[in-house]
Amino acid sequence: MSKDLHLNPQLLSREVQQEPIRAGFGRGLVEAGRRDRRVVALCADLTASTKMDLFAAEFPERFVEIGVAEQNLVTVGAGMALGGKVPFVSSYAAFSPGRNWEQIRTTVCLNQANVKIVGSHAGVSVGPDGATHQMLEDIALMRVLPGMRVVVPCDSLEAEKATLALAAHEGASYLRLAREKTPVITTKDTPFTLGKAQVFRVGHDLTMVACGPMVYQALLAAERLSKQGIEAEVINCPVVKPLDGVTILGSARRTGAVMTAEEGQITGGLGGAVAELLGDHHPAAMTRIGLADRFGESGTPAELMEHFGLTAPHLVKRAKELLKRKGGS
């Protein structure tokens, strides 16, 4: 593990502390509101679920309840941004940015409105609610928009830092959050910079680039591979756009094999972004973990992560397959 990143020493232990990633957003938003009076919050009838309730309680005069109307959510947000506010607009990712993509394109991106779109409950780990609510296409939808920043934190502490960083950064942004409890990998002292990926674990045999809850799975997989004599480098890539090409390419040049891991469609998501980067600059053996052109379904989060091949044992298997394709070795 990288020492200077001050990761949680307990992260590989069974007793590792767990917390939903969205909880970090809730704390970060309140702190952002304390630091900057321009920060406002808008929600589409999911205030507690998206953890905006903390902000609404402390700053009721700066909170707008939009109701179940995601098109209105983002367009009212765009108007507030033009009026000098820094609006965070939240709903489930399936509905925002799932339903209101054109409004985001025109009234946020083309209009250059400083709106922060927060999509909670992304990925299959939403669980029993089923495929309708398990958003898998949001990274692709947002990544393709000119000027849109896309951030996928790996744990609650990173989500807190990302929220504060986005509040201070001028420009349209998408913040993707997960519902379930996720092991806390980082600590308060772990640095976070918008646009920077971090090498969480150093290795020379293959590179694993992961975002969101899949960072933890990648670290577990790397540990198991290490016991079998394979050293995987694990890169935490919370900012899918703009992608930190320097860090990822640097690692790919050293290892010659790259795996991506995300809780979403591999087409157009983190996997797509890394494939484009490598294709342009350093073609290498590659494999993408995620959902391949299919929807989720109801089940417990653990059952679904297992079923869709998103757990550490699957990553170990896929890593070994990847190594067989690496440079003919």
Residue position matching structure tokens 């970090």: 24
19-58 burial: b if 16+ Cβ within 10 Å, else e: ebbbbbbbbbbbbbbeeeebbbbbbbebbebbbbbbbbee
Q: Which residues pair with 86 in a beta bridge?
A: 39
Query: Of residues 15, 19, 65, 70, which has the active-site annotation?
Result: 70
Q: Which of 185, 184, 206 is nearest to 289 (CA)?
A: 206
Cα–Cα dist 313/301, whole Å:
16
Measured from the Cβ of residue 273, the count of other Cβ atoms closer than 10 Å reads 25
Kindly tell me which residue out of 2, 10, 72, 187 binds another protein, with binding defined by CB under 8 A. Answer: 72
* 296 contributes a contact to another protein by CB under 8 A: no
**Closer CB to another protein, 78 or 142, in the complex:** 78
From the list 5-13, 81-89, 127-135, 188-196, the region that binds another protein by CB under 8 A is 81-89
Amino acid identity of residue 146, one-letter, is P
From the list 59-67, 162-170, 178-186, 209-217, the region that binds another protein by CB under 8 A is 59-67
* 103 contributes a contact to another protein by CB under 8 A: yes
Q: Where are the beta strands (DSSP E) in 56-179?
A: 63-65, 86-92, 116-120, 149-151, 173-176
Measured from the Cβ of residue 102, the count of other Cβ atoms closer than 10 Å reads 10
Q: How far apart are CB 56 and another protein at their closest, in Å?
A: 14
* 58 contributes a contact to another protein by CB under 8 A: no
* 45 contributes a contact to another protein by CB under 8 A: no
**Total residues interacting with another protein, rule: CB under 8 A:** 28
- CB contact set of 302 (below 8 Å; sequence gap of 6+): none
* 79 contributes a contact to another protein by CB under 8 A: yes
Cα–Cα dist 178/213, whole Å:
8
Kindly tell me which residue out of 1, 7, 40, 240 binds another protein, with binding defined by CB under 8 A. Answer: 40
Q: How far apart are CB 183 and another protein at their closest, in Å?
A: 38
* 170 contributes a contact to another protein by CB under 8 A: no
Amino acid identity of residue 79, one-letter, is G
**Closer CB to another protein, 101 or 308, in the complex:** 101
* 69 contributes a contact to another protein by CB under 8 A: yes
* 96 contributes a contact to another protein by CB under 8 A: no
Q: How far apart are CB 123 and another protein at their closest, in Å?
A: 27
**Closer CB to another protein, 23 or 81, in the complex:** 81
* 29 contributes a contact to another protein by CB under 8 A: no
Cα–Cα dist 86/117, whole Å:
11
* 82 contributes a contact to another protein by CB under 8 A: yes
Q: By the criterion CB under 8 A, which residues form the site for another protein? A: 40, 61-62, 64, 66-67, 69, 71-72, 75-85, 87, 102-103, 106-107, 110-112
| Residues forming the active site | 70
